[in-house]
Amino acid sequence: MNSEIITDTEYSSVRDCGRQSRRKRGGGFLKFLIPAVLLAAVLAGIFFVMHSGLLLKNRYLLSTSAEQLLRDQAPAASLKTFGADLSVITHTEDDDPSVQAHSVILCREGAAEAVYAKHALERMNPASITKVMTCLLALENADFTENWTAGQEIYVSDKDASMAGIKEGDSLTAEQVVYGLMLRSGADAANMIALHIGGGETGFVEMMNRRAAEIGCAGTHFTNTHGLTDPQHYTTAYDIYLILREAMKDPRFREIAGCVEYQADYTDIAGQPKTQKWKNTNYFLIGRAPLPEGVKIAAGKTGTTLAAGNCLALVSENPAGELFYSVTLKSPKRDILYTDAAAVLEKTIEQH
């Protein structure tokens, strides 16, 4: 018999012994391998934590080379955060005995801080200044050349509502409706805009609140398009500044909200020609209230209800041509409103 031939029993025994032999040799090796692996893992973990902490520290240090390189080479505009070009209220609420209005803000275009602030973050009833937001959405969403026919949406139950005099069946351009909104402060015009842009008041009000949130209005909630009194309809003087400033990005807003008088030629329900002339309700624009010398009004919106008092939002220019936004809310009387607003506008001259 060939001595190299191994029976199955013998081969099995050889294989088992081989495994046993390897296990014996491996067991001794593992005694050293496992502690070494654990030690390496611990050291790696310590290194990772220390290195990560250093990275985080360097990430937020302006003195690190990467951050400094970004600051040195990146365009300034790319580093701006949201609202970097807006004025903020950083000082104690101002008090001026010549200003009787409850809530006031004055901001210069591009300035980091508000020039003057009085209860500017307090929630207030804005009355028809609401229509600045209604106008903004019309500017952003309407085709001004499109013809709109007035329907039952023009009827407003509040007897104190100001109206543009649009009648059911009248056919006007969207542009004409917006002039009726801003100059005559028409609630009928506001509701026409809501219908043709938002499908009705509910959908349009949702758009108003969404747009307000997008531009940073933290103290605003709208329930209607025109500003008639509702306990859940409110904003702040500061938020009106934000809305006003957003609207001024469209040159048509300045043209409409700064217009003294506008003539609308359109047709009535019978297709007959109809003409209306709307005069601005802003006393500064129509010469019924004096302005500080050298100050010009670029645009504005009035608002008056029993709950809101007398209100005025303005965009003005001082003698140096610098642009200012001012909001005056809840003056006790109309003549006092313009005295208050003039006192605020005087402060624009002091900034020159």
Q: Which residues are catalytic?
A: 128, 131, 185
- What phi-psi label fits residue 181: left (phi over 0), alpha (psi between -120 and 50 degrees) or beta? alpha
The Cα-based distances of 254 to 52, 145, 299, 326 in angstroms read 53, 18, 5, 15
CA–CA distance from 187 to each of 50, 113, 201, 231 (Å)?
65, 35, 12, 18
| DSSP assignment letter at 235 | B
Q: How far, rounded to the nearest angstrom, does the alpha carbon of residue 77 sit from its chain's CA centroid?
A: 19
Q: Are 129 and 301 in contact (CB under 8 A)?
A: yes
Cα gap 315→190, rounded to integer Å: 21
- CB neighbours of residue 63 within 10 Å: 7
Residue 195, CA distances (Å) to 134, 184, 199 in order: 12, 19, 4
b/e map 172-190, b = 16+ CB within 10 Å: bbbbbbbbbbbbbbbbbbb
Q: Count CB atoms within 10 A of the CB of residue 39.
A: 10
SS3 assignment, position 39? helix
Instruction: Give the CB-side neighbour count of residue 186, counting CA atoms within 13 A.
Output: 27
Please, are residues 172 and 143 in contact by the beta-carbon 8 Å criterion? no
